[in-house]
Amino acid sequence: MNKVKIGFISFAHMHAASYLHAMLQRDDVEIVGIADEDAERVRPFTEPNGITYYADYDQLLAQPLDAVVICSENARHAEMTRKAAEAGKHVLCEKPLGISEEEMLGMIEVCEANGVQLMTAFPCRFLTSVIEAKQAIDEGRIGEILAMKGTNRGTMPGGWFIDPAKSGGGAVLDHTVHVMDLMHWFTGSEAEEVYAFAETWFHDTDIDDAGLVHVKFRNGVFAVLDPSWSRTRSFPTWGDVTLEVIGTKGTIAIDAFAQKIDVYSNKSGKGQWSYWGDSMDQEMVDSFVESIKNGKPVAVTGRDGYLSARVALAAYESARAGAPVKL
Amino acid sequence: MRVAIVGCGTMGTVHTRNLARMPDVQAAGVCDQDAERAAAAAAIAGTAAYTELDELLDKERPEAVIVCLPTYLHKETVIRIAERGIHVICEKPAASTLEDARDMEAACRKHGVRLFIGHVVRFFPNYRNAAEHVKAGAIGKVRMGHFKRHGSFPRGWDLWYHDRERSGGVIMDLMIHDIDFARSVFGEVESVYARITPPSVSKLEYAQVTLKFAGGAAANLTAFWGYNGPFTTQFEIAGDDGIIRFDSNQVQSFDLKTSAETGEQAAVQVPQSPMLRDPYYDEVQHFIQCIRTGTEPLVTIDDACKAVEIALAAERSAKLGQPVALEVAPR
């Protein structure tokens, strides 16, 4: 059996570790190498797993690879995706897909032109609860969708995430995209108007860490989303993904990480939630690998990534204008 | 103190039951246009039943009246009672327009009687507990709030809740609880942005409202009439030094299940938790105490007017699809 050959470009985003772990669970995947300028950052992953290290990702791209996983700083997604596509490699790119509309459209275009697939890393699509919700909606169990409310509240990540030049935005960009993608998926519609604010309220930084994003979709559905980095040190977990869907005949409430036990340990000095539900990262990585292996379209496209990231970009525009903006 | 009740629907009955066991308070007649309902309420409190308010006021000579009529009848009724020199405790919302609410206030001032509006959430022990923690600085500076109030569609007399003109709709009638409470925690509202389901959707009303507060904070409120689950209230108040959360579905101190569950829903759902006194009791007792001592209540007529003003701004925002700015009085 031919193994699917995968390379990792950058571990700047910590999700790379989880995606690598998921890849390593599969015996049909070969990790050809990990590229990162920072050798120390990736040593805990290369050495124990016997994976080749590349300081320069161009050298990794020169290897016989089927696909790459890009988990760099947001501002570098476009350049890395372009080079990977030109080298003929399929791409799984960390969210948000990019930091401007033009560069995201460019990423989609260059992948199409080179006949490679571009998948946006939206693991929430693969949550078992989310899949059940999508099924119930498609079966008409809650009638027509009227409105939605979501949260993707989190902890302030620090590092390059709070450097606008590298991240392209704070909490509103970081945490709007996941749930916005689910809203697009559930409604089968696209956002057409955004009203939002973005503020620095929780932490001593120069980037937005609080916001609320109101969206109106083309089909008339309206929604609101809280992407704030508002979880404090004292909170029992890192954050949440919730989505409430109001339909004409019923409602669905998703609380993606509700499958937990409560742990009270004197060692941590606070109560903590320990999640025991399915691994969305494993499901997403499996889906990507299966698509590449079987030459099937990826489940979450570059266009999906673009559609939800542009809502976050519009949210900043609305925040600056203090008024709703049209997409 | 002699206290009468006008309107013997869901809230009137709750208040009647509480008056019947409140020390130093005497139920002084109950009134409802429906003689049967009036008689049923009267029996609870051991008082007389009336179908005409004027007759009750003439015969019973109450010192205060609790008004539990549909919102569109508040103004006329409150003014009628005030003109007789009787104090008024009125269910929320004060009125469905700011002018009406201000007229009620002016009439009460003119006739030298007190007016209290029953924003009962201020008296709910869970909300009070949260407000006290915020005040004590437990979570630092409050920055972001979420408030949720989801229940079945209330079935009032003549389906008045279903008529947005008469009830004011889900924002004015239901969300106003959280509007008032959020304002008490976060301060003055600077701007409002709202979305609401269109009236063409039958049997449900759902609204999302974002309030931005002066001084850097915001809250998103949702209210829902037509929810198929149990009456649910939730809130989260996130500060820069901690978070307070409440979920009414996770605080069952007592849970009885029997084979005889009928599953029939109340006409108007009233949140309940096993307590010696319900929040409506504490509310009315507090207002009566304010009448006796001449002190300011926990929730003032200005607070009630502000809540109406914010709810109306939300309605306007939903219509315009634009945020609506409110005037913030300088401190």
Interface predicted TM-score (ipTM) of this complex, two decimals: 0.94
8 Å CB contact of B238 and A232: yes
pLDDT of residue B262: 63
Euclidean distance between CA atoms A106 and A219, whole angstroms: 28
- Residue B174: both structure tokens together: 């239901």
| CB within 8 Å of B103: residues ≥ 6 apart | B75, B79, B95
Euclidean distance between CA atoms B166 and B147, whole angstroms: 25
Euclidean distance between CA atoms B222 and B210, whole angstroms: 9
Q: Which of A232, A234, A244, A320 to mutate to test the interface with B (most CBs of B within 10 A)?
A: A232
- Residue A161: both structure tokens together: 């995430």
Strand order in the sheet with B232-239: B242-247, B232-239, B142-151, B217-225, B205-213, B189-196, B324-325
Question: How far B305 CA lies from chain A's nearest CA (Å)?
Answer: 26
Euclidean distance between CA atoms B33 and B317, whole angstroms: 37
8 Å CB contact of A193 and B321: yes
The arithmetic mean of pLDDT across residues B275-303, rounded, is 96
pLDDT of residue B267: 80
Percent composition of chain B: helix, strand, coil (DSSP 3-state, to 5): 40, 25, 35
What residue ranges do the domains of chain B occupy?
A: 2-119, 121-275+300-325
Q: Given B208, B227, B239, which is nearest A224 (Cβ)?
A: B208
Q: Given A234, A248, A250, which is nearest B242 (Cβ)?
A: A234
Task: Report residue B327's pLDDT band, with 50, 70 and 90 as the boundaries.
Answer: confident
Q: Above 80 in pLDDT, residue B179?
A: yes
The arithmetic mean of pLDDT across residues B82-101, rounded, is 97
DSSP class of residue B153 equals P
Question: How far A120 CA lies from chain B's nearest CA (Å)?
Answer: 29
* Per-residue buried b or exposed e for B198-237, using 16+ beta carbons within 10 Å of the residue's own CB: eeebeebbbbbbbbbbbebbbbbbbbbbbbeeebbbbbbb
CA dihedral B18, B19, B21, B22 (to 10 degrees): 110
CA dihedral A285, A287, A291, A292 (to 10 degrees): 10
pLDDT of residue B166: 81
pLDDT of residue B167: 80
Nearest to A128 by CA among A254, A287, A307: A254
Q: Above 60 in pLDDT, residue B127?
A: yes
CA dihedral B65, B70, B76, B80 (to 10 degrees): -20
Residues of A with CB under 8 A from a CB of B: 146-147, 149, 151, 153, 193, 195, 197, 199, 201-203, 210, 212, 214, 216, 222-224, 226, 228, 230-232, 234-235, 244, 246, 248, 250-251, 322-324
3 state DSSP class of B204? coil
Architecture field, domain B121-275+300-325: 2-Layer Sandwich (3.30)
Q: Other CB atoms closer than 10 Å to residue B53's CB: what's the count?
A: 22
pLDDT of residue B95: 96
Question: How far B245 CA lies from chain A's nearest CA (Å)?
Answer: 11
What residue ranges do the domains of chain A occupy?
A: 4-122, 125-280+310-326
Task: Report residue B203's pLDDT band, with 50, 70 and 90 as the boundaries.
Answer: confident
The arithmetic mean of pLDDT across residues B276-305, rounded, is 96
Q: Above 60 in pLDDT, residue B68?
A: yes
Distance of CA A145 to the CA centre of its chain: 24
- Mind listing the pLDDT tens digit for each residue in B252-287? 888 888 887 666 667 888 777 888 899 999 999 999
Residues of B with CB under 8 A from a CB of A: 139, 143-144, 146, 193, 195, 197, 201, 204, 206, 208, 210, 212, 216-218, 220, 222, 224, 227-229, 238-243, 321-323
Euclidean distance between CA atoms B330 and B325, whole angstroms: 15
Q: Look at domain A4-122 and name its CATH class.
A: alpha beta
CB B185 within 8 A of CB B134: yes
Which parts of chain A register pLDDT below 50? none
The arithmetic mean of pLDDT across residues B151-155, rounded, is 90
| CB within 8 Å of A241: residues ≥ 6 apart | A124, A127, A150, A151, A152, A178, A179, A254, A255, A256, A257
Q: Given B146, B224, B243, which is nearest A232 (Cβ)?
A: B243
| CB within 8 Å of B203: residues ≥ 6 apart | B153, B226
- Mind listing the pLDDT tens digit for each residue in A176-213? 999 999 999 999 999 999 999 999 999 999 999 999 99
Q: Look at domain B2-119 and name its CATH class.
A: alpha beta
Task: Report residue B330's pLDDT band, with 50, 70 and 90 as the boundaries.
Answer: low
8 Å CB contact of B144 and A230: yes
Bond preceding residue B297 cis, omega within 30 of 0: no
Residues pairing with B27 in the sheet: B3
| CB within 8 Å of B254: residues ≥ 6 apart | B274
| Residue of chain A whose alpha carbon sits nearest to that of B200 | A248
Q: Look at domain A125-280+310-326 and name its CATH class.
A: alpha beta
Strand order in the sheet with A118-121: A52-54, A29-35, A4-9, A67-70, A90-94, A118-121
Euclidean distance between CA atoms B246 and B236, whole angstroms: 6
Residues pairing with A29 in the sheet: A4
- Mean pLDDT for chain B? 94
